[in-house]
A and B are shown apart, each in its own frame.
Chain A
């Protein structure tokens, strides 16, 4: 937005980094669920996870994707908190 000067430029850079993080994390999200759990499930099912009865594709669809989802959110929180501090936008610091 015009009229916000330097601070506005910082906000644009902040937003770009945010969009980049989100895109990367969503690519992983897509790969484990729609990729491993649905589109390539038959191929992955030919592999069995060693020491268990799980076909790999089936495991991704019913277990693995969920574990990855939880991790993704915590990674996002960590990245964003770091980004907030870097740009001085953290809510912990006095305005």
Chain B
């Protein structure tokens, strides 16, 4: 069997598995639909959260980003895992005790305000759509490359599958499908990583392997890679080229954004008790850490293999994988000096005479994980497995996000907003219609995407960081925080973040260089500043306006102790 046949078989088998699981666990009530009947075990919830969380960006793009940025890529590793500590210590137990269905529910009730609820709903929908567009593009790339179908058809197939289990199964269907998707994606990620680690360093664990001795040169792998980088004029792999301030702020924005993402927060409503919410976050991070500690190893293996395979090689001698990716436009080679060899060099490269050397090769960083098994010459079935894993990652995240969008519409806008008399049955129908509509919009965004996977996702993080996080934290930890403060804070934070990102990414991309950034903070890191502004504005406004009513202060006292967390329920009538 060749690569394509293996891919069809493995992707087909995994899809059959998801559909089977979805049928077995359909939703019968709104409670099943929104929070899986609040009866999921912490271990299963942790695994589902991990799959929900690890998107196409984690699976496909992250190791590639680290591979191209070296040390500076650490922001994604620390940022996307450190946020779980904030989630566990500051958010999850209290939100579970509060026991609503959605994040806007908490914001609306804690701040006794429809305006605050609507602002939160708009933020949740916006964050979810930016994020889901990235997933659909990931699905498109995988289909385009491995099944050789056009990206549009790939996105349509992905939409069909997600529609099937998100719309029918709701949170219950999604949770159990995500458990199976986690198993598929982690297996698919680890197999090639272990193969490479054994081949290159003789260590079984990739986490140890990339600190080990390289078999072909006899020196430490990282030293060899730093040496290759220096030789080709790139910044050293283990130190990188970004400013400390920027690394600091990007890490903070990603951490806080993680803790503020509505599709992650809502998962902790699905367990029976506060105690289970706490341990669920621990399991989720443990499952995530398996992939996140492997990714930097994959990055080092891939980078070393790439440099030794392509740099300064004659173009005519290159292997098949190079041409396949070149054909779909994700690798491009332009022989500027006409010597027929590939000059793949960094900005500091000089030739023997001390003259600057021009780089001739552009590689899309999104392809590194997908191309890695081919570059290293691993067996065909491994390549098919990676494709199935990437799809699992993209689909599980897309489904979780679509559920947030649908519950934001049917629950927050209709039931708690404009159509309070809606029946349980009517609400479930509305939720399914909203999920269906959301799938269509997401599919359109996937076919005609607004940017690259990781870039779009970074945008969603900035927005989550600068909107939800501060109001939820102060909602629990500071009783004095009131309606006026929360609304003013959210609007200030999100306006600043959006304006900064839109200015540098869309209005004037040419100005997107460190000299023009505020305090040297790039648009990726601005969410952290937006969060601080949200907090400062919120606290100031709150102190200038009357304190929240006594029943809201009692509500905060109630949230702070674990006893008496019933099933997820409505707090106010």
**Shortest beta-carbon distance, A36 to chain B, in Å?**
10
The answer on a CB contact under 8 Å between A38 and B81 is no
How many A residues touch B, CB cutoff 8 Å? Answer: 47
Query: Cβ of B285 < 8 Å from any Cβ of A?
Result: yes
B74 touches which of A18, A45, A61, A92 (Cβ 8 Å):
A61
In chain A between 1 and 17, which residues have their CB closer than 8 angstroms to a CB of chain B? 1, 8, 11, 14-15
A69 CA / B89 CA spacing, docked (Å)? 11
Contact call A34/B251, Cβ cutoff below 8 A: yes
Is the CB–CB distance between A52 and B85 below 8 Å? no
Q: Is there an interface contact between A81 and B293, defined as CB atoms closer than 8 Å? A: no
The interface bits of chain B over 446-462 (1 if a CB of A lies within 8 angstroms of the residue's CB, else 0) are 00000000000000000
Task: Answer yes or no: A47 CB below 8 A from chain B CBs.
Answer: no
Asked if B516 lies at the interface with its beta carbon under 8 angstroms from chain A, I say: no
Q: Which residues of A contact B282 (CB under 8 A)?
A: 70, 73-74, 76-77
**Interface core residue of A8, A34, A66, A77 (most chain B CB under 10 Å):** A66
The reply to whether B563 and A49 form a contact with Cβ atoms under 8 Å apart is no
A73 vs B563: C-alpha distance in the bound complex, in angstroms? Answer: 20
Interface residues of B in 537-573 (CB under 8 A from A): 553-554, 557, 560-565
B200 is an interface residue with CB less than 8 A from chain A: no
Contact: A54 with B211, CB < 8 Å?
Answer: yes
> Given the complex, which residues of B lie within 8 Å of A19, measured CB to CB?
477
B222's nearest neighbour on chain A, judged by CB, is A53
The contact of B553 among A1, A42, A53, by CB within 8 Å, is: A1
Which B-chain residue is minimally distant from A15 (CB atoms)?
B560
Q: Which of B251, B273, B293, B554 contacts A63 (CB 8 A)?
A: B293
Main DSSP-derived SS at the B contact region: helix
Contact yes or no, A91 B273, CB < 8 A: yes
Task: Determine if A62 and B77 form an interchain contact, defined as CB atoms under 8 angstroms apart.
Answer: yes
Q: Are A91 and B565 in contact (CB under 8 A)?
A: yes
**In the assembled complex, which residues on chain A have CB atoms less than 8 Å from the CB atom of B212?**
52-53
* Chain A CB within 8 A of B98 CB: no
- In the complex, what residues of A have CB within 8 A of residue B222's CB? 53-55, 58
Given contacts A37-B78, A61-B74, A67-B289, contact A14 B88 (CB under 8 A): no
Task: Give A39-84 interface residues, CB cut-off 8 Å to B.
Answer: 39, 41-42, 45, 49, 52-55, 58-59, 61-63, 65-67, 69-70, 72-74, 76-77, 80-81, 84
Once the chains bind, are B208 and A52 in contact (CB under 8 Å)?
A: yes
Query: Which A residues are in CB contact (< 8 Å) with B286?
Result: 70
A66 engages B248 (CB within 8 Å): no
A1-B554, A53-B210, A53-B220 given; 4 more Cβ-contact pairs under 8 Å = A33-B251, A53-B212, A53-B221, A66-B292
Can you report 26 A-B residue pairs in the complex whose CB atoms are below 8 A from each other? A1-B557, A18-B560, A22-B89, A25-B85, A26-B85, A33-B255, A37-B251, A38-B244, A38-B248, A39-B248, A42-B239, A45-B238, A55-B238, A58-B74, A61-B71, A63-B296, A65-B81, A66-B78, A69-B285, A70-B282, A70-B289, A73-B278, A73-B281, A77-B282, A80-B278, A91-B274
Residues of B in contact with A (beta carbons under 8 Å apart)? 66, 71, 73-74, 77-78, 81-82, 84-85, 88-90, 93, 207-208, 210-213, 220-223, 238-239, 244, 247-248, 251-252, 255, 273-275, 278-279, 281-282, 285-286, 289, 292-293, 296, 477, 553-554, 557, 560-565
